[in-house]
Amino acid sequence: MSYRRRLGVMLSVLWLIGLPIYVLIDTNQRASETLGSCMSVVNNIDWCLPGAGFVSPREMIHNLVGGDRNTVVLWALMMGPIIGFWLISRIAFATVRSIRR
């Protein structure tokens, strides 16, 4: 396997691992902000907590393999850029190779 191909595979794997982690952290950060603003108005955690939208790692894994609408959206967000990257890089390298000849 060439250096470029290994680099592409490594970046693809990092994307597939890193994106769900980023989504989990970002979702929980937004939920924390929502909870804070609700608590400043209502000051009742039992009323504010269900609407905040916190996501546990178990829920994220279920969303990745659960087979519902969220699964399709998450996998499309994860695979779309990878497919685009591989197609664009393949076209670019083929173009550069044909220009050099």
- How much is the pTM? 0.78
Q: Is the pLDDT of residue 25 over 90?
A: yes
Domain layout of the chain by residue ranges: 3-100
Taking the C-alpha atoms of residue 75 and residue 23, their distance in angstroms, rounded to an integer, is 12
List, for residues 48-64, the tens digit of each pLDDT value: 888 888 999 999 988 88
Amino acid 97 reads R
Output the pLDDT for position 2: 86
